[in-house]
Amino acid sequence: MCGIFGIIGKKNCVQDLLKGISKLEYRGYDSAGLSIPSTKEMITIKNKGKVSGLQEKVESFNLFKDDAYSTGIIHTRWATHGVPSEANSHPHNGNQNIISVVHNGIIENYRSLKSSLISEGYSFNSETDSEVLAVLIEKFYEKGQLLKAVNKALKEVDGAYAIAVVSNEDINQLVVARKKSPLVIGKGKDRIFIASDPLPIIEYTKDIFYMKDGYVASIIGDQVKVYDENENPIEIKYEHCSMSPQSIAKDGYDHFMLKEIYEQPEAIESAIAGRVFKDQTEITLEDDILNKDLVNRINRIVIIGCGTAWHAGLIGRNIFERFTKLPVQVDYASDFRYRDPIIDENTLVIAISQSGETADTLGALALANENKTPTLAIVNAVGSTMTREANEVIYTRAGPEIGVASTKAFSAQVLVLYLVAMHIGTIRGILDVDERKRRIKNILKLPSSIRETFKKCSNIKKIASIFKDATNTLFLGRGTGYPVALEGALKLKEISYIHAEGYHAAELKHGPLALVDENMPVVVLALKGRRYSKIINNIEEVKARGGKIIAIVSEGDKEMKNITSDIIEVSEDVGILNSILVAIPMQLLSYYVAVVRGCDVDQPRNLAKSVTVE
C-alpha cells in the first residue's frame, strides 16, 4: 500500500527521488519522507500529507546540488499502524541515526519485537510496526556489514515487507528485500533504481528485475547482488518493460480518472488485439493458455477478486454460465482464503486483479495452488506478483491505471472474462459457429459502441449536480446490471464520499425501499432486454415514494422519457457486453459528482490503489 523508491549513483539524486515518488503516490498519500545518507549524518525529512508537501519542505534544505547526495530512499505512506503523522511517516531510523529504512507491508510480530527491544534499552518514536525494522537492523549493524545486519533482522520478523535500507556509514550501498510486497530493481546507465513498481523507473531504464519472495539484494555503486532466502546468490535477469512514461501522464486531462475513463476504447482494442479476428470463429489465447485437456477436464469455475475486480467476476459468472454451462462461484478473495473452499484439480480458479499485488487475492491464489487447483490470473500490471504465482496469465492490457478508482481496468477485466468464457464454451462445444460469429462481431464493435456512448454522456455533468448535497443514494440493477450497480455505487462512494448502496432491483421491496424519500437519488440501470418490464416496475415503486430517478437506458427509449427527465442513453447493441457500456456513464457520473463536491478524485481519502496488506 505504500510506495518505495530509491536511487544509488554518483550524481545528486534528491530531485529525482521526489519526482519518482510522486509517480507512486497512487499507492498511498497520507505522509511522505526521504533519507539521504551522508558522511556527516543521516538526513531524514518527513512530512504529513502528500508528496508536494514534502517537496516544499525539502526545498528549504540545501540538498539539490551536492553530488555527495547521490544515494537515497523515499517513501509515500498509506497508514496501517499509527495515524498519518510526521512521526509515523517513513523513513524510520535506528536509535543512533546510522540506519534508515522504508517499508511497505506489515510486520506481524512487531509488538513482541518492540517490547523485547525496549527491555534491551532501545527506544521508539512512532506507533508503526516498521520502526522495529530500523531499530533491529541498527542493533545488528557493524560498519561495512549492512547486508549482514539486514539478513539477521529479517530472520526475526514475520509478515510482509518490501524494504530499502541505507546507512550513513556505507553511503555507497543500498540493501533491499522483499517478502509478499512488491519490489523491483532497474539498471540505469550510471545509476541503479529500486521501487515498488516500474513506474518511477521507466524514464531512466526499461531493464527491470522483479524481486521474488525471500530475495535480498545488496547494491554497491553500480553492482547489484541478489540472494535467495537461504542467502545463495541469484543470477539477475533483467526483463524489458514496455511501458512508456507518456502512459503515466495526465495528457491534458484534469485527473487520471477522467483520462482513464476516456481511454476505454483503446484499452478494449488492446485487450482484443491478436485474440479476436473478424474472419475467425474462435478466440486465440496466447501461449496455449487453457489448453483443450484442461478445458475438457474442469467441471467448475471459481472466480476470486476484491472490490471492482470482484464486481467484474460477478458479471463473469453470468457470462460463463451462458457460454460454458459450468457451475460458477464468485468469491471475495479475502473470504475464500480463510474458508475451506471445495476445490480440486478439476476446478478452474480465476483470480482477477488490476494491480496483481492485492494481498487477499494473492493469498487466495496461494490456497488454490496448495490444493493443486489449476489457476488463471487475469491481471493488468505487467510483471506483478500474481503473474508469477498463477499457473497461467492473461493480461487485460488496459495500460497503467493511476486513478485510485478503477475504470478502464474493470472494462478490460469483463472483456477478458468474456474471451475466456468464449474460448471454454467453444472447446466444450456449447457455442455453435453462428453464435460465435455473432459474439465476435459484438466484441469487435465494442470500442466504437463505447465511443458512441461517450457522445451521449454530455448531460451527465448536469445530472451530477443532483448529487451535490445528497448523503445517501441507491444504485439498482438486475441481471448483469446488478454487479454494474454495485460497481456504480462503489465508484460514487469512494471518490465523492456519498453513502451509496448497490442493490439488486428485485430486492428493493425486501428492505431498502424504506430508505427512499424525496432526498434520495436512485440510479437505475434499465436497458431494454428481458428484465426491462420488471425494472420499470421497480422504478415506479421508487417514484411512488418520491425518490428521484436517474435512469441509464438504451438509446431512443421513449417509455423512460415519460417516467423521468434525468436519462443517460447508452449505445446499447453488444449483448452481454452492454455491461461495459452501462458502467461508463456511472464512472462519469461519479467523477463529476466528486468534482462538484470538491473531492480529490484521483487520491480519495483513506484509500490507496494497491492493497498489499490484508
C-beta of 113 vs 390, nearer to ligand F6R: 390
Pull the grid cell for residue 582. 452501462
2 has catalytic annotation: yes
C-beta of 326 vs 490, nearer to ligand F6R: 490
Contact positions toward ligand F6R, by CB under 6 A?
Answer: 306-309, 353-355, 358, 361, 405-406, 490, 494, 611
Main-chain phi, psi angles of 210, to 5 degrees: -95, 115
Smallest separation, CB 491 to ligand F6R (Å): 6
C-beta of 113 vs 492, nearer to ligand F6R: 492
C-beta of 63 vs 412, nearer to ligand F6R: 412
In 3D space, the residue among 79, 407, 431 whose CA is nearest the CA of residue 258 turns out to be 407
CA distance 123 to 134: 11
Phi-psi sector, 428: left (phi>0), alpha (psi -120 to 50), beta: alpha
CA distance 591 to 255: 9
Smallest separation, CB 363 to ligand F6R (Å): 12
Give the position of cell 556489514.
Answer: 145
Per the DSSP assignment, residues forming a β-bridge with 194 are 6, 185
C-beta of 151 vs 308, nearer to ligand F6R: 308
When CB distances to ligand F6R are compared, the closest residue is: 307
Map residue 535 onto helix, strand or coil.
helix
456 has catalytic annotation: no
CA distance 373 to 330: 16
CA distance 104 to 587: 30
Smallest separation, CB 364 to ligand F6R (Å): 11
Main-chain phi, psi angles of 25, to 5 degrees: -65, -20
Cβ atoms 384, 399 nearer than 8 A: no
Smallest separation, CB 507 to ligand F6R (Å): 22
CA distance 521 to 576: 26
**Catalytic site residue from 23, 139, 187, 609:** 609
Give the position of cell 437506458.
Answer: 553
C-beta of 203 vs 401, nearer to ligand F6R: 401
In 3D space, the residue among 608, 305, 358 whose CA is nearest the CA of residue 486 turns out to be 305
Catalytic residues: 2, 609
